[in-house]
């Protein structure tokens, strides 16, 4: 093997071009199995973010085939974040069209047919009520002509046949939010989740059961689990009588079984079987038979399938089977196995099928066709350190890596500390091209699971309650000190980057610490008062929990913890990226922070993108962001 050439950190030749990031930005969304087929949505930057429904029959030589013709795009806007945008039943596809938010039907061999025409309505998370010729769905009614009024959330029925086709009937109302309406196989009972402001679904949410009457109406709902500080998740009927769901009453999401009268725990693991329901429809466990449940989890930091059998026994059997992956996503069953998305240590994320009788996944689709030489891939590892509250904090560390180059002898690399969005979320696992874009050029990357992150139980997540802008910043600053103390990065060349809530952490870190030499904010929040006044209903109480405020007393705290208020503390260079169609973080916020820094002659750059919302989907945008961010970091960190 030829000796590696020496080159300055941050300037190594990289096999990953900015354009390659668009190939790696193919986003796998909702998945469902029906019969021998698996269906999924994938967002495509090369088609300006259009979300296409694709299907494949695992175990054959078939190639993935687009089911949804252009220009249709399947995307729901319920709760603003959407999810569960399609349903396949008896070979017929029902989907929510992005442009009009109406439900459409696609029968094989025919053109898409519009089912609803309801300009003020949005739909998601559909279930077929075959006996009554209708769909049951989560719905959202917006005030007509009022862009500032709050929507009404409900569970509705949508007629599918004859004169009732497209007719919308209210079934369940009264809660602020609903999710997972699921009809028992005999059509006699409806299960669903409900919760109210100021809670998010992971704070507390209740599981309800109601009778579904022959005339189509729904009886009075009975709460069978959740509420009172407990979150329930993902109800699924095992048969006409038994209902499966997750509950975090132990502090971790565990599998429960309701038999029509009583509830009992099937698992008591100190690991999460659930995930925060930002999007509707995620499924982290599936029934793979009348007495076999397959769930996904990280057990001892190993991605694993958790197999639960003996459901009617006094104590169910729980078998943990690690798989060769860095992470496991939502699950769906098909004839012969389970389908999911996995992160991989040395290759891009992949949509895979895991046959029932073997462990090794069969790859159905990869997030990118880009192939990297193994020596050029930086493999992440979990590290831990004392965070800002002196409690253990976790992160994913990626060292610089190149097949052809190395840094100068005795020199330390620059580093990029990543603050994930949410903030109720988690650092990614496995190969991510954005991370490799930097490590292959000679940067170290540390992706931090700061206080409030998910995957470690309720107590870890609640460390951020009332401490947003404080605890997250302290943990990211501790992460930078960890890199320096361990000799993993040049202490004077550590930058911080993040998007959305992570962007807020970036801005607060620059405003309240001198730890970082530069910052990169992607649609980050600079004015909490502005956000509080413009946030949508779904997050109407989220900020209060994060900031420790109430609906009657929040102004002083928002002012005190806004980067704009603290801008005099900012001395490090800052680059900002902003979508002009962003409804979660209005463009004015990035403009305000940029203008104030310019007034003080601090190095700052602002890039705005038309047609982009909260998160970038278009290929040209992704390329421009990568090019601008890299050039900025080289300049701000004095990499020569």
pLDDT digits (tens, 9 = 90+) for 521-548: 999 988 898 888 878 899 999 999 999 9
List the one residue out of 48, 51, 52, 82 whose CA is nearest residue 66.
Answer: 52
Rounded to the nearest integer, the mean pLDDT of the chain is 93
Task: Please give the order of strands across the beta sheet that includes 285-287.
Answer: 285-287, 292-299, 302-309, 317-322
pLDDT above 80 (res 432): yes
Kind of pairing, strands 574-579 and 518-522? parallel
Shared domain for 416 and 359, answered yes or no, is: no
CA 551 to chain centre: 27
Q: Which pLDDT band, with edges at 50, 70 and 90, does 197 fall under?
A: very high
Which domain range does residue 293 map to?
Answer: 20-366
Average pLDDT of span 421-432: 93
Q: Are residues 348 and 397 in the same domain?
A: no
Residue 359 has pLDDT above 80, yes or no: no
Three state DSSP letters for 169-198: EEEECCCCEEEEEEECCCCCEEEEEEECCC
Query: Which CATH number goes with the domain that contains 179?
Result: 2.130.10.120
For the cut 80, the answer to whether the pLDDT of residue 25 exceeds it is no
Same domain membership, residue 380 and residue 357: no
Residue whose C-alpha is closest to residue 187's, from 160, 217, 166, 163: 217
**Alpha-carbon separation of residue 475 from 218, 427, 447, 592 (angstroms):** 48, 13, 11, 26
Q: Which of 211, 178, 181 is nearest to 194 (CA)?
A: 178
- The rounded distance, in Å, linking the Cα atoms of 246 and 269 is 12
Per residue, the 3-state secondary structure of 395-440, as one string, reads: EEEECCCCCCEECCCCCCCCEEEEECCCCCCCCCCCCCHHHHHHHC
Specify whether 459 is located in the same domain as 517.
Answer: yes
| Residue 84 CB contacts under 8 Å (≥ 6 apart), including other chains | 30, 76, 124, 125, 126, 138, 279, 280, 281
Count Cβ neighbours within 10 Å for each residue of 215-254 and write b for 16 or more, e otherwise. ebebeebeebbbbeebbbbbbbbbeeebbbbbbbbeebbb
Shared-domain flag, residues 307 and 184:
yes
Query: Of 344, 366, 388, which one is at a domain's C-terminal end?
Result: 366
Residue at which a domain ends, from 366, 393, 412 = 366
Shared domain for 350 and 376, answered yes or no, is no
Last residue of a domain, one of 366, 395, 416: 366
Place of tokens 């895979």: 352
Residues 386, 278 share a domain = no
Residues 6+ apart with CB under 8 A from 212: 129, 183, 184, 187, 188, 189, 190, 218, 219
- 3-class DSSP state for residue 492? coil
Between 300 and 447, the more confident residue is: 447
Q: Which residues contact 398 (CB under 8 A, 6 or more apart)?
A: 378, 379, 380, 435, 436, 439, 444, 445, 446, 447
Percent share of the chain, pLDDT over 90: 82
Mean pLDDT on 139-143: 95
pLDDT score at 607: 98
Q: What is the CATH number of the domain that holds 582?
A: 3.40.50.1820
* Claim to verify: residue 220 and residue 339 sit in the same structural domain: yes
Q: What are phi and psi of 35, to 5 degrees?
A: 60, -130
Domain co-membership, 87 together with 234? yes
Number of independent structural domains in the chain: 2
Residue identified by tokens 């004169």 is 163
Can you give the pLDDT at residue 358?
63
Provide the pLDDT for residue 154.
98
- Predicted pLDDT at 15: 94
pLDDT of residue 144: 85
Same-domain pairing of 237 and 316: yes
Burial class (CB in 10 A: 0-12, 13-18, 19+), 24: buried
State both tokens at 420.
Answer: 């994930």
Spatial contact of 354 and 58, defined as CB atoms under 8 Å apart:
no
Residue 420 or residue 367, greater confidence: 420
Whether the pLDDT of residue 443 is over 90: the answer is yes
Tens digit of each residue's pLDDT (9 = 90 or more) over 456-488: 999 999 999 999 999 999 999 999 999 999 999
- Do 464 and 377 lie in a common domain? yes
Q: What is the mean pLDDT of residues 23-30?
A: 78
Same domain, 387 and 355: no
């Amino acid at each position: 093997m030829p000796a590696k050439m020496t080159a300055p950190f941050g300037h190594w030749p990289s096999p990953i071009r900015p354009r390659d990031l668009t190939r790696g930005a193919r986003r796998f969304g909702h998945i469902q199995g029906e019969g021998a087929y698996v269906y999924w949505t994938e967002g495509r930057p090369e088609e300006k973010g259009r979300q296409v429904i694709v299907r494949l029959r695992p175990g054959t030589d078939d190639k993935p085939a687009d089911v949804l013709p252009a220009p249709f795009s399947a995307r729901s806007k319920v709760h603003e974040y959407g999810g569960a945008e399609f349903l396949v039943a008896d070979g017929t596809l029902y989907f929510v069209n992005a442009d009009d938010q109406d439900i459409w039907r696609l029968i094989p061999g025919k053109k898409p047919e519009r089912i609803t025409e309801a300009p003020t309505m949005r739909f998601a998370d559909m279930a077929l009520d075959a006996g009554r010729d209708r769909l049951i769905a989560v719905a959202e009614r917006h005030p007509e002509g009022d862009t500032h009024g709050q929507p009404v959330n409900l569970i509705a029925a949508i007629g599918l046949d004859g004169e009732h086709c497209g007719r919308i009937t209210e079934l369940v109302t009264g809660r602020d939010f609903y999710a997972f309406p699921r009809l028992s196989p005999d059509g006699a009972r409806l299960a669903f989740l409900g919760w109210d402001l100021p809670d998010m679904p992971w704070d507390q949410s209740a599981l309800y059961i109601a009778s579904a009457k022959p005339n189509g109406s729904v009886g009075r709902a009975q709460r069978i689990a959740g509420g009172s500080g407990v979150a329930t998740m993902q109800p699924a009927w095992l048969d006409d009588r038994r209902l499966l769901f997750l509950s975090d009453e132990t502090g971790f999401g565990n599998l429960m079984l309701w038999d029509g009268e009583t509830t009992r725990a099937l698992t008591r693991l100190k690991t999460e079987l659930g995930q925060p329901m930002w999007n509707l429809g995620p499924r982290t466990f599936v029934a793979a038979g009348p007495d076999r449940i397959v769930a996904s989890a990280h057990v001892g930091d190993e991605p694993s399938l958790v197999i639960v059998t003996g459901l009617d026994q006094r104590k169910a059997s729980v078998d943990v089977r690690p798989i060769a992956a860095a992470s496991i996503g939502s699950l769906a069953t098909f004839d012969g196995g389970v389908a999911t998305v996995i992160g991989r240590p040395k290759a891009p994320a992949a949509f895979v099928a895991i046959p029932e009788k073997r462990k090794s996944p069969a790859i159905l689709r990869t997030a990118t066709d880009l192939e990297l030489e193994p020596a050029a891939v930086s493999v992440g590892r979990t590290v831990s350190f004392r965070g800002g509250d002196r409690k253990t904090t976790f992160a994913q560390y990626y060292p610089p890596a190149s097949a052809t180059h190395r840094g100068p002898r005795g020199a330390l690399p620059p580093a990029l500390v990543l603050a994930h969005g949410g903030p109720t979320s988690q650092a990614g696992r496995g190969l991510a091209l954005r991370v490799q874009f930097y490590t292959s050029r000679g940067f170290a990357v540390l992706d931090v699971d700061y206080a409030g992150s998910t995957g470690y139980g309720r107590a870890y997540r609640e460390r951020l309650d009332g401490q947003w802008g404080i605890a997250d910043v302290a943990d990211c600053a501790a992460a930078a000190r960890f890199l320096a103390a361990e000799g993993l990065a040049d202490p004077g060349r550590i930058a911080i980057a993040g998007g959305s809530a992570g962007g807020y952490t970036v801005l607060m870190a620059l405003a309240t610490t001198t730890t970082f030499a530069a910052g990169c904010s992607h649609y980050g929040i600079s004015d909490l008062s502005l956000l509080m006044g413009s946030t949508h209903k779904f997050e109407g109480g989220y900020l209060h929990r994060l900031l420790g405020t109430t609906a009657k007393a929040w102004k002083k705290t928002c002012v005190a913890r806004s980067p704009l208020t603290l801008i005099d503390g900012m001395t490090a260079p800052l680059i900002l990226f902003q979508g002009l169609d962003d409804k979660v973080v209005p463009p004015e916020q990035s403009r305000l922070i940029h203008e104030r820094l310019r007034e003080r002659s601090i190095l700052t750059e602002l890039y705005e993108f038309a047609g982009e919302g909260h998160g970038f989907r278009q290929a040209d945008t992704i390329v421009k962001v990568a090019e601008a961010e890299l050039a900025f970091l080289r300049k701000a960190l004095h990499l020569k």
